[in-house]
């Protein structure tokens, strides 16, 4: 019965959730990523494989910066008392954007030079992991704060982490190995673990804290 009720409510939420998605941030990240991907094509350049890999990693970060805004909800304090759990509303946001993000990444790959393109599966795994990290960080910010729009802060933290990670990561991790590096397969095993760990952490941050939710429900029911 519980599953049936959730399925019955979710379609009613599609329209309102779709309208409250941060389309400006998502569109800005998407357009910028496509422009960066098209740079070699426009300039007629023939980048080396390591340059194309660096380009794709930068574009993946741009996309993740857009996803950092996905859980921004101006009506957050009004929707807390709703019977639909917050994890369902957040999952719906992710589900609505995922097909668009997949098409965007496919277009990015098609725009990059095929001669120097790194293995598609592995570089896509990196992009997925960075995107999931952005969503997990956004879920954590929503969980720990009352901020309705934590996106700018989450994006700043993600950008800082991306700058510091290659400098501070242990040498043995080699997350940012090149495609011809013998450590490339092991690096992507770690990317997969990172993606799964971030997804689990984000899911655990989904539920509304009981104390905070109770206060909001009482406040919503209080006479004005």
Sign of CA dihedral 74, 79, 85, 89: negative
**DSSP designation for 21:** S
Tokens (6 digits) for 4: 């049936």
Residue 156 in any domain: the answer is yes
Which residues 6+ apart lie within 8 Å of 77 measured at CB? 146, 148, 216
Structure tokens at 35: 């422009």
Specify the residue for token string 């946001």: 93
Asked if residue 224 belongs to a domain, the reply is: no
221 within a domain of the structure (yes/no): no
Query: Residue 3 has what pLDDT?
Result: 39
176 located within any domain: yes
Number of neighbouring beta carbons within 10 Å of residue 152: 13
Domain total in the chain: 1
Q: Per the domain annotation, does 219 fall within a domain?
A: no
- pTM of the predicted model as reported, rounded to 2 decimal places: 0.86
Profile the chain (224 residues) by mean pLDDT over runs of 10 residues. Answer: 43 82 96 96 90 96 97 69 75 94 98 93 97 96 88 95 84 84 93 96 82 40 34
215, part of any domain: no
Distance separating alpha carbons of residues 195 and 39, to the nearest angstrom: 29
> 106 lies in which domain range?
2-208
Q: Is residue 223 part of a domain?
A: no
On whether residue 213 sits in a domain, the answer given is: no
């Amino acid at each position: 019965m519980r599953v049936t009720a959730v399925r019955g409510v979710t379609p009613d939420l599609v329209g309102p959730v779709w309208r409250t998605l941060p389309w400006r941030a998502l569109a800005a990240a998407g357009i910028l990523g496509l422009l960066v991907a098209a740079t070699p094509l426009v300039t007629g350049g023939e980048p080396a494989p390591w340059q194309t890999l660096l380009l794709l990693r930068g574009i993946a970060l741009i996309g993740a910066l857009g996803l950092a805004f996905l859980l921004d909800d101006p009506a957050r304090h009004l929707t807390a008392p709703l019977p639909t759990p917050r994890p369902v509303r957040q999952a719906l946001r992710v589900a609505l954007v995922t097909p668009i993000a997949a098409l965007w990444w496919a277009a990015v790959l098609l725009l990059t030079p095929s001669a120097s393109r790194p293995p598609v599966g592995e570089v896509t795994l990196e992009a997925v992991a960075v995107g999931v990290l952005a969503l997990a960080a956004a879920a954590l910010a929503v969980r720990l704060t009352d901020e309705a729009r934590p996106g700018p802060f989450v994006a700043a933290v993600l950008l800082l982490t991306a700058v510091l990670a290659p400098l501070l990561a242990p040498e043995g991790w080699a997350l940012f190995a090149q495609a011809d590096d013998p450590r490339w397969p092991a690096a992507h095993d770690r990317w997969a673990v990172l993606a799964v760990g971030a997804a689990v952490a984000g899911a655990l941050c989904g539920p509304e804290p009981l104390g905070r939710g109770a206060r909001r429900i009482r406040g919503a029911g209080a006479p004005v």
